[in-house]
Amino acid sequence: MKQLLKYMKGYGRECALGPLFKLLEAAFELVIPLVVARIVDNGIARMDRGYILKMCCLMVALGIIGLICAVTAQYFAAGAAVGFSARLRHAVLERVLGLSYSQIDSMGTSTMITRMTADINQVQNGVNLTLRLLLRSPFVVFGAMIMAFTIDAQTALVFAGVIPVLCLIVFGIMLITMPMYKRVQGALDRVTSATRQNLTGVRVLRAFCKENDEVRSFQKMTNDLADRQLSAGGISVLLNPVTYVVINLAVVLLIQIGAVKVNSGILTQGMVIALYNYMSQILVELIKMANLIITMTKAAACGNRISAVLDTQPDQANGTLSAENITGEVEFRNVEARYSASGNPALSQISFLAKPGQTIGIIGGTGSGKTTLVNLIPRLYDASEGDVLVDGVSVGQYDMDSLRHQIGIVPQKAVLFKGTIRQNLLWGNKDASDDTLWAALDTAQAREVVKDKDGELDAQVEQGGVNFSGGQRQRLTIARALVRCPRILILDDSASALDYATDAALRKAIRNMKNPPTTFIVSQRAASVRYADEILVLEDGALAGKGTHEELLENCAVYQEIYYSQFPKEVTDRG
């Protein structure tokens, strides 16, 4: 939690003025019981209406000044809290975006979403209340006790006895509830994860009639969250009644002692009322302090979770070489790759050479390691053994941003972002002209997709591209990658929603580009890789064969099985 305080840098003025104005408000509040005592002893006792009116006007003036101080304190405290949380969100997002795929996989998307939203909001509330109440409440509590001693030291011993008891209750409950609120946030992570999964997979749920099962599962998780919240809240809620009991017992004792001293002429009635008011102030402030402690406890638990993300250092060392002038040659030398949570390697002993401008087809069954292989080129994952080389240089020696600017990646899932078609395409190259955009759309067979939309390049794209079909989204994401004019192009099963004719036209257009990139086509369609310069056949992470289509039909059983399962007519012809 302490490391988060550096994000408060620059808000020193707000952090100083917020509590200062709160202390001024508290100081005016401590004067009020003395004014009330004067009204009772001097005004009411003597029936002096002028004096009563004057003192009442003084109380109103003190109240107005206190209100101005409170509003000013809230302004500065809110400014510091909001600015702090904005910086913190930026820092967390920047750290998450700098992590490798394997680190993101291990953390989990739902956890990171919770930490960037609910956790940071809780920390923001904690900072706001801390700036407003952390100094004010103790100041009023001890200030009221001191003022009570100025009235009558013997009677004020009640204050000295009750305050330590109340502090013990407050801090004891805080220590008990802090780990409980941490477990509450963990349960919230699981609910967030289930919510995200159900919303993204709602069509599949309906297709398999699993709505009731998911509702029961979700209800179980929400019940667990509710139980944890109730357990923590059940202990936290003891603060108010317990402190009320202690305070009211102290009030009873105070009035009893005060009544005896009033009868003895040691105290006046106004003094007893002032002492009672100071006790009431202590009660109110301790309730505020108790709520502040609860909020700070939650904020501390959330802050530690945020710190865990910020403490996670990227496990990929960045190189220094520029990849600006690469030709696009890619070589794998005895490469092995594994995921951190998996004992067996996802790839093992992969070796091949892709020359500049060549098309490399990658085919294999589900889970054979196709996507893992192409993800090693832009260093989305790192090889655990062996070398991945671009232009004869290990990818680890290149600056990652420089390397990735020379690589166009089209992932399996076509993702478009809310905005316009132009804005989505400019992700590939923010300085690209309209001619470049249209050229990329032509190559990606997406010109008619854009032409059919009102506004063409300025047509709106909904979040996730839901206003486009699957094939349209794939063509637009391919165009986005081509806008970059990459030296290496990775098409990771990115034409699965295209018909065979459009798929063939796409591959032909890429080959006929003026300066074609080294292209990797990952596909489960034999037709998509049939005319590649070299085809890599993967099975269980190993290279089962490599060569041209004709060579693999002769000597690779895995390729034969895949090919003839998709083109059964040729089985008859060969028979």
Domains and CATH numbers, the chain: 2-311 (1.20.1560.10), 317-406+490-575 (3.40.50.300), 414-485 (3.40.50.300)
- Residue 342's pLDDT band (boundaries 50, 70, 90)? low
CB 65 within 8 A of CB 344: no
How big is the CA angle at 294 (ends 290 and 299), to the nearest 5 degrees? 140
Bridge pairing between strands 488-492 and 518-522:
parallel
CB 51 within 8 A of CB 42: yes
Range 393-407 average pLDDT: 90
Instruction: Give the model confidence (pLDDT) of 228-285 as tens digits.
Output: 888 888 887 887 788 778 878 888 888 888 888 888 888 888 888 888 888 888 877 8
Look up the pTM and report it. 0.66
pLDDT at 574: 47
Across the strands, what pairs with 333?
A: 387
> SS3 letters for 58-97?
HHHHHHHHHHHHHHHHHHHHHHHHHHHHHHHHHHHHHHHH
Helix, coil or strand: residue 327: coil
Sign of the alpha-carbon dihedral angle for 375, 379, 382, 388: positive
Alpha-carbon span 286 to 292, nearest angstrom: 9
SS3 126: helix
pLDDT of 428-447, one tens digit each? 888 888 889 999 999 988 88
Nearest to 445 by CA among 487, 417, 473: 473
Q: Which residue has the tokens 């420089």?
A: 402
Cross-strand pairs, 545: 537
**SS3 label, residue 353:** strand
How far is residue 471's CA from residue 496's CA, in Å, rounded to a whole number?
A: 8
Angle CA(57)–CA(61)–CA(65) in degrees, nearest 5? 170
Residue 510 CB contacts under 8 Å (≥ 6 apart), including other chains: 359, 443, 489, 516, 517, 519
CA dihedral sign, ordered 361, 367, 372, 373: negative
Torsion of CA 406, 410, 414, 415, to 10 degrees: -20
Tokens 């990459």 found at? 486
Q: What would the mean pLDDT of 6-13 be, rounded to a whole number?
A: 84
Q: Which residue has the higher pLDDT, 209 or 443?
A: 443
Q: Helices 120-133 and 136-151, interaxial angle, to 10°?
A: 20
Distance between CA atoms of residues 315 and 195, nearest Å? 30
pLDDT at 362: 92
- What string of DSSP letters covers 498-535? S-HHHHHHHHHHHHTSSSPPEEEEE-S-HHHHTT-SEE
Burial 293-324 (b: 16+ CB within 10 A, else e): bbbbbbbbbbbbbbbebbebeeebeebebebe
Tokens of 88: 């913190």
pLDDT for position 340: 66
pLDDT value, residue 343: 65
The tens digit of pLDDT for each residue in 99-158 reads: 777 777 777 777 788 788 888 888 888 888 888 888 888 888 888 888 888 888 888 788
Residue closest to 474 by CA, chosen among 502, 454, 451, 453 = 502
pLDDT in tens, 281-298: 887 787 787 778 778 877
Instruction: Locate 310 and state its tokens.
Output: 């910020």
CA distance 293 to 105: 35
Average pLDDT over residues 205-211: 80
Measured between alpha carbons, how far is residue 486 from residues 287, 325, 480, 549 in Å?
63, 11, 11, 26
Q: Is pLDDT of 68 > 90?
A: yes
Residue 575 has a pLDDT of 41
Measured CA to CA, the distance from residue 210 to residue 35 in angstroms comes to 69
